[in-house]
Amino acid sequence: MIANIVKPGHKTRGVLNYLYGPGRANEHTDPYLVASWDDFAPDPGRDPEATLAQLTTALDLRVKQAGDKAPREHVWHCSVRAAPEDRPLSDEEWAAVARRLLNATGIAPDGDPDACRWVAVRHAEDHIHIVATKVRGDLRPSRNWNDFLRADKELVAIEKEYGLRQVPRGDRTAAKRPTRAEQEKARRTGKARTSREHLRTIVRTAVSAATTTAEFFRIIEGTGALVDVQYFPSGDARSYKVALNDDTNAQGEPVWFSGSALAPDLSYPKIAERLTATEAIPAVRTGATAWRRLALTVDQLPDHLAHDEDEAGQAHITVLAEALDTLPLVAPVGLRPQLVQAATIFERAARSRIRAQHQQTQATRCAVKAVLREPAPQDGALLTIVLDALLLAVIAAQHSPT
């Protein structure tokens, strides 16, 4: 099951008009209530005497009573959809689902006489819509902080109890998606990517190439991007934000993005943790070239992934992603687009809540950074060896339990 909680609105009647109407493509058929706050709400779908105006008035009663104290955006709207292969749920089961979600989110806790007023409308076999007005019986706003995650957690339990498909869920490690405004701005200016996506690539490549935090900021500046570092009173870096030189707002000011706004693992603390582990590594004294050292260390990754603990395994997956980020900088021009695409795809697959033990991957990380400071091999043989090792490591990471 998937819950979609939309941005709060201020027109209860407008939402009800949509739910009881034909839909955007006549997809709404036979809309009716399967449950409500007291099970006596007027239902225009089943009672010929009931009207949408009456249902709106009943839902908005406490909003009117609260007056100026009521939140402007007082309409809470959540749709809940079952998977296509799930069995059809009865009205009673959908009603139970609605009540459990309202309890979990804090909109209508079980046994609370002052819970918000709400209705659950069904107009298709596979989903319902829950609409609530966010003013309690004591005329205080509802306490529904973090409602999406709470609803999602409750749906996991519902899926198991009802024997429904257990839908894979995100783990809050995903990179931030560009907003619609950012996407439209990119189209207007003729850019293939949004500023957020462009900056994410710049920062991810910089952290893969840098050996210190100071060098990390210099590499970003070297691309032409703007960097603003915030410091603690002690003088230590606290956070940073970046912007493209040609991306400005209506006032002509740069549009800034913090590292965490680009991706959770690009926040300054996460980057500093990775670079600090590298700074502590003594210089490698060996006759082998950086490319050969990289091939040797990457060649060992499948064994590490098969036998190491989760935290160490995640560190190896992280440094493998860094190797893929770095390679387009030194590979032949003809291979770069494919390598960039591979790095982007693997970055998505490498996300995890598991905290990586970066000290476990010092040798590989050093080898990754060293190839950028050594001329690329002319005959291509070492590059082929590195690519083969990376391919095997990626396959191993795909099958890793980490």
DSSP notation for 67-84:
GGGS-SS-EEEEEEE--T
CB 116 within 8 A of CB 37: yes
Mean pLDDT of 130-146: 93
| Residue 395 DSSP SS3 | helix
Q: For the packed helices 180-188 and 195-209, what is the interaxial angle rounded to 10 degrees?
A: 100
Using 50, 70 and 90 to split pLDDT, how confident is the model at 379?
A: low
Residue 149 pLDDT exceeds 60:
yes
Instruction: Of 10-14, 105-109, 236-240, 304-308, give the lowest mean pLDDT range.
Output: 304-308
Q: Is the dihedral of CA 374, 380, 381, 383 positive or negative?
A: positive
User: Rounded to 5 degrees, what are φ and ψ at 36?
Assistant: -155, 180
For the stretch 204-255, pLDDT in tens is: 888 888 888 999 999 999 989 999 999 999 988 999 999 999 999 989 999 9
The residues, ordered by sequence, that sit 6+ positions from 2 with a Cβ below 8 Å of its Cβ are 80, 81, 155, 167
Q: Could you tell me the two tokens for 186?
A: 């990119």
Q: What are residue 258's DSSP bridge partners?
A: 241
Mean pLDDT of 265-279: 81
Tell me what pLDDT residue 358 has: 55
Tell me what pLDDT residue 174 has: 54
Mean pLDDT of 333-348: 77
| Residue 54 DSSP SS3 | helix
Tell me what pLDDT residue 401 has: 55
| Residue 29 DSSP SS3 | coil
Percent of the chain with pLDDT over 90: 44
Q: Which residue has the tokens 């739910």?
A: 19
Using 50, 70 and 90 to split pLDDT, how confident is the model at 293?
A: confident
pTM above threshold 0.85: no
Tell me what pLDDT residue 324 has: 81
Residue 301 pLDDT exceeds 90:
no
Using 50, 70 and 90 to split pLDDT, how confident is the model at 39?
A: very high
Q: Could you tell me the two tokens for 378?
A: 């002319």
Report strand pairing: 226-231 vs 127-133: unpaired
Please give the angle made by the CA atoms of 48, 53 and 56, to the nearest 5 degrees. Answer: 115
CB 280 within 8 A of CB 365: no
Instruction: Of 21-25, 138-142, 224-228, 395-399, give the lowest mean pLDDT range.
Output: 395-399
Tell me what pLDDT residue 315 has: 73
CB 200 within 8 A of CB 182: no
User: Rounded to 5 degrees, what are φ and ψ at 131?
Assistant: -125, 130
Tell me what pLDDT residue 360 has: 52
CA–CA separation, 47 and 337 (whole Å): 61
Cα atoms found within 13 Å of the Cα of residue 322, Cβ hemisphere only? 32
Q: Which of 155, 145, 138 is nearest to 100 (CA)?
A: 155
Residue 63 pLDDT exceeds 90:
yes
Tell me what pLDDT residue 32 has: 96
Please give the angle made by the CA atoms of 43, 81 and 91, to the nearest 5 degrees. Answer: 40
Average pLDDT in the chain:
84
CA–CA separation, 73 and 65 (whole Å): 15
Percent of the chain with pLDDT over 70: 85
CA–CA separation, 204 and 233 (whole Å): 28
For the stretch 310-335, pLDDT in tens is: 666 677 777 777 888 887 777 777 87
Residue 373 pLDDT exceeds 80:
no
